[in-house]
Structure 1
Amino acid sequence: MQTFNIHDAKTNLSRLVEQASKGEAFIIARAGKPLVKVTAIEAPPAQKQRRLGFLKGQIKVPDDFDRMGAEEIEALFGGGS
C-alpha cells in the first residue's frame, strides 16, 4: 500500500481517489506518520437500497398535513391565547 504526504495527496487527489475507487487503497501521512487510510466504500446490495415511492398506494397523507398541530405549536411559542 502506497503512502503519500499531505501535499502530494492534495496535488494528486483526483488520481488517488480514482485508484482507491478501483480497490487500490492508500495512506496519507504528515511528517512521515500515517494519519488516514483511504479505501473505496461498497454500495449496499440492490435489495437494501432505498427506493422513492416504495409505499405508493399503501399510505395516505392527509390534505391538511402541513397545518396539523398548528394551533398547539403556535401556543407553545407564545403566539396563541
Structure 2
Amino acid sequence: MTIHVDIARSTASLADLVAHAENGEEVILARDGKPVAVVRAAEAAPVRPRFRIGALAHLGPLTEEEATLFLEPDPEMERLARSEDEDHFYR
C-alpha cells in the first residue's frame, strides 16, 4: 500500500512515517501535490562473500586460517633455505 503525504499539511511525525515504511508501506512525500521524496524500508545489506580462490571456489568460502595459509612461509622451505647441508647442490 502507498501513502501520499503533503509536506506542508502533514501533522505526522517522521517517526510515524518511518513506522509505516517498516510495516511494508511506501510513503510518498509531496510538495504542492508533486512527489518529491519516497520513504521505504531499507533492504538488508548484501552479505560480502568470504575469501574464495578461483580453482577452489566450488569448495565454498575459506576460513581466515585457510586464507592466510597461502600467505605464510612454508616451514619446510624455510628450513631448507637455512640449511648448510644443501650448499653442495648450488656450487
TM-score, normalization by structure 2: 0.45
Per chain length, whose mean CA-contact separation is higher, i.e. which structure has more relative contact order (CA < 8 Å, sep 6+)? 1
TM-score, normalization by structure 1: 0.50
Work out which of the two has the higher radius of gyration on C-alpha atoms and give 1 or 2. 2
